Structure 1
């Protein structure tokens, strides 16, 4: 029965310690034996410790103190990374779904170094290194892809000045020229950055290009077949004419080339000089509705996708 309320709307028994009959009972099944002697507890702990040691585990039991072990328990690391709760992480480990440095781990309590060890769940790498930072910046037009500029011109470093001042070391993955806008990754993970820029992994990049001239299917064929530039041939993986209007066209261009000004050079060589260029996508990471000058952290699914693309 709901207790009566005062005129001000608060329950009449507010502030009073509830009676035992008012406390809801737990739905958990009680233990069959409620009282265990200290001798029984000692024997049980000794037996469990013996089993754990034979398995190489490092669990703690009642009355024990933590050993001087290095690293953090694997289930805790998985929980901190947002993979699952600790209890669910233990289930994943039991089922052999977790790998550390390429080896399946089934021993509960295994300790790892998040800053060194590579951890995968169901074959997908998980970001567990708390020191690594991953950000996406929508770089505005007119901003240099540098962390500082001796001449005081606007640069990417201006947008992460607070992070740099706090001691975080960030650098941009690749670069966009000053007149090109859009998606630019910032990180302190050198291995991931190097692989994303390496031509071996052919990481795709998508741009929206506004060009002079009304594009037609001939342009699509030309870009797909390849154009000879002064530093060798270049071609796109995909091109779409999004719109044509009053002597201009909007194109969606996807390619894995990483040469300097490659999109502008290809379109100029094809007879369609670029008026505006925006990078909207890197592999599966998209700019979306993010406004120019805004910075956001990558989420776990985006980061996992990048790891997978470069074989990490």
Structure 2
């Protein structure tokens, strides 16, 4: 196949090796075997050069983010912690959970003080802006413990859309996980980013939220990460985040 148009840039096998895919020799084998594509085109020529920042590089369909010193963390925020790096009122904040990190980090979007769960923390300002911007419509998933036995018809209503004080709201996915002793556990996915949107939606249909946890943000899953701890995102997770905003 043809190589990228520009004669500038970095050799593709070097970019792959620097990203931690494999040794440079193994990366050359992957190219020769047709596993590597740049901007949607399979690249097999060893002389191919790429722009590691702007070109979209994939190995077996998985996005390869550029090698960087930037930090990408997943944090399981506890309830009672303010989504701020420094709270002027002296309440527990994110900085208390990120002690020892040398970077100047900031959070992507917000979680209410009473909401726990997945929060992305990074120093990649461009990616953070896109992930938080409503125009990219990155989906978020929450699990909520709510008052009352949630009827199946509630899900239909939310999927069709309801009216709130600040305009219409619609969820992308809704399911009841469990009903027990006058309370229900539900899962809700939506891409709306308005203030306290999940709590307001569920309150509007008569099921006030008692506990709320965000379990997914775009391609990222909270999994079994302990409350109050962080972990580095994997290369595949970072690549999937880039894909979610098509950077």
Shorter-normalised TM-score: what interval?
0.7 to 0.9
Asked if residue 128 in structure 1 is aligned to residue 66 in structure 2, the reply is yes
Query: Is contact 1:212–1:248 with CA below 8 Å preserved after alignment?
Result: yes
Tell me, what secondary structure is at the counterpart of 2:87? coil
Give distance in 1, aligned partners of 2:44 and 2:182: 64
Which of residues 236, 239, 245 in structure 2 aligns to 1:301? Answer: 236
2:141 touches 2:215 (CA, 8 Å); kept in 1? yes
- 1:1-312 map, 5 Å: 74-94=12-32, 98=36, 108=46, 116-118=53-55, 120-122=57-59, 124-163=62-101, 166=102, 168-312=103-247
Compared with structure 1, are the counterparts of its residues 311 and 126 closer, same or farther at alpha carbon in structure 2 (3 Å cutoff)?
Answer: same
Question: How far 1:287 moved relative to its partner?
Answer: 0.6
Residue 306 of structure 1: CA displacement?
1.6
Report the CA distance between 1:273 and its aligned residue: 0.5
Gaps of 5+ in 1: 1-55, 58-69
SS at match of 1:257: coil
Displacement of 1:124: 4.5
In structure 2, the residue matched to 1:21 is none
Partner Cα separation in structure 1 for residue 56 and residue 179 of structure 2? 48
Residue deviations 1:51-75 (CA, integer Å, cap 9, x gap): xxxxx99xxxxxxxxxxxx986543
Counterpart CA distance in 2 for 1:111 and 1:250 is 52
| In structure 2, distance between residues paired with 1:258 and 1:187 | 19
> Which is bigger in relative contact order (C-alpha 8 A, separation at least 6)?
2
Rounded to whole Å, the distance in 1 between the matches of 2:67 and 2:124 is 10
Q: Which has the larger strand fraction?
A: 2
What secondary structure does 1:293 align onto?
Answer: coil
> Secondary structure at 1:161's aligned position in 2?
coil
- Secondary structure, aligned partner of 2:68: coil
Give me the whole-angstrom Cα distance separating, in 2, the residues matched to 1:117 and 1:132. 16
- Residue 217 of structure 1: how far off its partner (Å): 1.3
Q: Distance in 2 between matches of 1:195 and 1:117?
A: 15
The C-alpha deviation readout for 1:197-222, integer Å capped at 9, x for no partner, is 22222211110000111111121122
> Helix, strand or coil for the counterpart of 1:77?
helix
* Mean CA deviation greater in 300-309 or 257-266: 300-309
Task: Find the structure with the greater CA-based Rg.
Answer: 1
Aligned residues: 241
Q: 1:112 to 1:170 in 2, by over 3 A?
A: farther
Look up the SS of the partner of 1:296 in the other structure. Answer: strand
Superimposed CA distance per residue, residues 254-304 of structure 1 (whole angstroms, 9 cap, x where no aligned partner): 111111100000111111110000000112211111110010011122222
Give the superposition deviation at 1:189: 1.5
TM-score (norm 1): 0.69
Taking structure 2 as the reference length, what is the TM-score of the superposition? Answer: 0.86
